Structure formats: C-alpha cells, structure tokens
Structure 1
C-alpha cells in the first residue's frame, strides 16, 4: 500500500513539474513574440513607402516612455544606422539618401529602446524586421507631364513627354530623372481614343517624342501617358497615368453646336431682320405721308 502511495506521489510530482515547465514555455513564447518581459513593446506594421525613389520606413505605434532605432542593410551585408533615426520618438525614417545601390535588396530592423539619456539593464532590445525592398523594382513612379502637337494636315499628332524628376541626387547635387536611373529600361505607354468614343488603342515608345500617324483627319483625340518598366514584375511595370489631354479637332457647325442652338440662332436672326424691315417700311411710309402733306398745304398757283 505504501509503495502504491509513493508511486502516486511521484506521478503527481512529475505531472506538476511538467505543467510548470509547460507554463514557463508558453510564457517565454509570449514574451519573445510580443514583448520582452519588463521591456518595451515591439514595433508593428513595419513597411516601406517609396514614391519616385523617395523612400521611407514606417511603423506603429507612437512611443510613450521609449524610443525607436532603425538599422538597415542590403541583405547579407553589415547593418547601418541613420543618425536621425536613433532613439527617435517618430514612427518613420527617411532612408532615401542611404539606399545608394538602387538595385540592391534591403531589409531593416526597428528596435524598441530606452529614451535618450536613459539607461537599462537589457542587453538585447526587442525589434521587428521589415520585408524586402528594392528601390529599382519597388518604388512607385508618378504621373508624367506631356504636350500635344498637331500637324498642319491634322493627320499626325506628336506627344512630347517630360521625364519625371526623382528624389535622388548625383555627386554634383543635381536631381536625377527616371530616365537617368532606368536608362534604356524606361518606356512610355500611350493610351488614346477619339474624343467622342470609348474604344481605346495603345502604343509603346522608348522615346520621349511619340508620333501617332494615320489618324482620322480633323478628329479630336484624347491621350494619357504612363511610365512603363518592362523588366519589373507585372504588377509594378506601370507608373501612375497622367491626366487626360485632348487634341483640338476641326468640327462642323453641327458638331460644335446642338440642333436646338442652331435653330434658336436662326430664329433670332430672322426676328432681327423682320424688325429692321418693319422699321424701314414704317419710316418710309411716314416720310411719304409727310411729303404728300407738304404738297397739299402749298397754295395753288394763279391761272
């Protein structure tokens, strides 16, 4: 009987130790995945935001009694820090000037640390790692500007596209355009249609000067232009579309104005002519009556 009781106690003791160990593992897992126990919250929603090569790393939440430090590097290389993003109370870091190799793939860590001038016993700080980002492949390209020129015979339209300026500067402190960065990899996609139609046509050009020939003479056409980078993944090949612009067309009076407007204008002209004729006739009759009255008032000459 004593042996059975002893065995039962050993089993109970073993189960208790197992439960304690399990609880410790769960607690440790929660701490590592969400908070470093007794430390600071980890950054959340760490994302890259890049437009025309101006690149920000953003995250949440806004810190209260702690700060954030950003470490970044091309994959497989030593980490670097931007001096403006060390123990910062902000939730974004501008890394535009730091990502010098635009074709490299970068990754960043956002560390939760004490505020400036504060100390802690922690050796390692909680952090969150971003996804991969390549400026050349991932930055969003904005809307280009373009002008329209119509030939004298109205059979050819030429578009002149201005390359977008980026947030990147060269060694001479001059801003680079997307043409300077993408070079021969840059094309422009032109989508156009007749002004009175919904059917669209598409042309691609490696040049900033785009000629469209054999258009219907005298017709007005509407155009939009987008940067096109064929080397990118399909969902990132196109930039933002420019605002639609339409060429002038040679319209007949019936195309320029509605039928009711034309009929109204004709009616007004006829009315004006009728009034003028009426006034002339009345004036002529009055003048004739005045002459006849003068003749009747004249004395008869002696026989």
Structure 2
C-alpha cells in the first residue's frame, strides 16, 4: 500500500472513529417537564448542550411522531408546542433526541433520547389569574363583578381565544369574599363571567373585598382551580373621620386643642401665683386704728 493510500485510509478511519465516539457521548436530556399556562405550552429539560443539539419529536399517544420546525437540532432547552398540540383533549408524549449539531454527520441509527410524561392540554394547562371590575348599584344593595376571561395562547382568525372560548360551559368562577373590616370569608361558585351579589350575601353600604379564581369542575381535584386574582375591595359610605377630613387637618386640630389647654393651664397658674402674692402682701400691712 502506497503512502498516499495509507494517509487516505488513516484519515477515513479517524473520521469514522471520531464520528462514532462523538455521537456515542451525547448526554441524554434530563429533568424533562411540561409547563403550560393558558395553553402556552413549553416542553423543558436540561442540560445546556455543548457540541451537540436537541431535536423534539411529539405525537398523540399511539400515532406517528412529528417534529416542530423550530425544535430541530436546536441548542435551546425548551420547545414551544402551543400551536402544535392542535387536539386539546388528546394526550401527547414527546421524545427529546440528543443529536450532532448542524453540519456534523453521524452513522448512528438511533440517537440517545428521553421521553416525557404524558400531557393533555385541556386538563393539564394551568389557568392564570383573571382581572375583574367592581360595580356597586345606586341603592348599594347589589355588587357586580365583571370578570375578564383570561386570554390564551391559541388563536382563531388572528384573534386570541379566551379560556371561555375553549372551556365553554365547563368554565366557572369561584369567588371568595368578606367584609373589609372582618376576617370572615364566604365562598360561592358562579357559571357566568358577570357575577352579582345581593340579598343575604352583602349588607348595603358596607365595603367587601374579593378574590376570583377560574374553576373547572370536570378536572381532577388538584387542577380545578386557577391562579387567584389580586384582591380588590368595593367602596363604602361608612367613611371614618380620617377619610372625611384627612390626617393633616385632624393633626392640626389636635395640636390646636393641646395648645389651648396648655395656654389655659399656664394662665391659670400665673393668675393663682399673683393672687397668692397679693394675699400675702395684705397680711403684712398693719391694721388702721379706729
């Protein structure tokens, strides 16, 4: 064998061996998990790749696997599958393959891979906190909460769908409320996004504080409730003296009263001392003879 043939042979052998060794040391993805809120669904894992890449394959259980074009030989450790999981009530699984980076070939038939847990968007996505506005009727006998259904990451003709568009009648709202001046709480469930409280639920003219959560009774118990809203309170006509006049005015009035009291005491003491001296002076003057 000539020198050139040996060089070619050794070069080819080194390439094959390096490719095999390089491919064989790709670490598998770890800590694979789904994170989904309002149908914004990410598949996440570790570690950050060095000299290799990740490809995500997903499918409905029992069907052929597909690839998201943004998650092929990627150096990212997450893949946004929000628009890929079209059938929201289907159950999916995913595989994360450890592959060579772009431009590097490999003779491996099967790459190291890690399978995710199963995930069903309709029953597993978390529901974010809703916003709401409070309206008190003129006679103060009814409080209305107008809840804004949280938007999702899904679209219909370029318009974002709300959770009401997805869940329909399955969506309800849990309202926790109580008087602003009390620690007692009540809880009620409503099927509408417009919530009305009156009668035995509230006392007219009293301030009430509210928290609202999405509630989906068709789910498993640990996933029925969404994230609670921020606490909001209704106005009240039972205004305190501080609300009526302000702390500055009240402080000024108190200072004036204290000043008057002090001045009065000082004047009284001075007058008493003068009167006492006058009385002593009269005692030292001899009586005039008759």
TM-score, scaled to structure 1: 0.73
Which SS does the other structure have where 2:174 is aligned?
Answer: strand
Q: CA deviation at 1:39?
A: 3.2
Confirm or deny: 8 A CA contact 1:36 1:126 kept in the other structure. no
Alpha-carbon RMSD across the aligned residues, in angstroms, is: 2.6
Once the two structures are TM-superposed, the CA of residue 254 in structure 1 deviates from its matched residue by 5.1
Q: Specify the alignment match of 2:97 in structure 1.
A: 111
Query: What is aligned with 2:108?
Result: 122
Q: Residues 40-189 of structure 1: matches in 2 within 5 Å?
A: 40-170=26-156, 172-189=157-174
Alignment CA distance shift 1:143-1:252 (3 Å): closer
Report what 2:186 is aligned to. 201
Task: List, as ranges, runs of 4+ consecutive aligned residues in structure 1 with deviation greater than 2 Å.
Answer: 35-39, 252-258, 260-274
Q: CA deviation at 1:229?
A: 0.6
1:199 aligned counterpart, secondary structure: coil
In structure 1, the residue matched to 2:177 is: 192
For residues 145 and 91 of structure 1, the distance between their equivalents in structure 2, rounded to whole angstroms, comes to 32
Deviations 1:15-44 (A, max 9, x none): xxxxxxxxxxxxxxxxxxxx9993311110
Task: Give 1:247's aligned residue.
Answer: 234
- Partner SS state of residue 68, structure 1: strand
Match of 1:230 in 2: 217
In 2 relative to 1, CA 242–263 (structure 1 residues): closer, same or farther, beyond 3 Å? Answer: closer
Match of 1:24 in 2: none
Note if contact 2:23-2:106 (Cα within 8 Å) is conserved in structure 1: no
Q: Structure 2: which 5+ runs fail to align? A: 1-20, 262-290
Compare CA radii of gyration and give the structure with the larger one: 1
- The match for 1:4 is none
Q: Tell me the alpha carbon deviations over residues 257-299 of structure 1, each in whole angstroms, 9 at most, x when there is no partner.
A: 79x999856556768999xxxxxxxxxxxxxxxxxxxxxxxxx
The offset of 1:255, in angstroms, is: 7.8
Instruction: Find the residue that maps to 2:165 and give its secondary structure.
Output: helix
Q: Please give the alpha-carbon distance, in whole angstroms, between the structure 2 residues aligned to 1:50 and 1:267.
A: 57
The alignment of Structure 1 onto Structure 2 pairs a total of residues equal to 238
Normalised by the length of structure 2, the TM-score is 0.76
| Distance across 1 between alignment mates of 2:127 and 2:167 | 11
Q: 1:271 to 1:115 in 2, by over 3 A?
A: closer
Equivalence for 2:207: 220
Q: CA deviation at 1:69?
A: 0.6
CA pair 264-84 structure 1, distance change in 2 beyond 3 A: closer
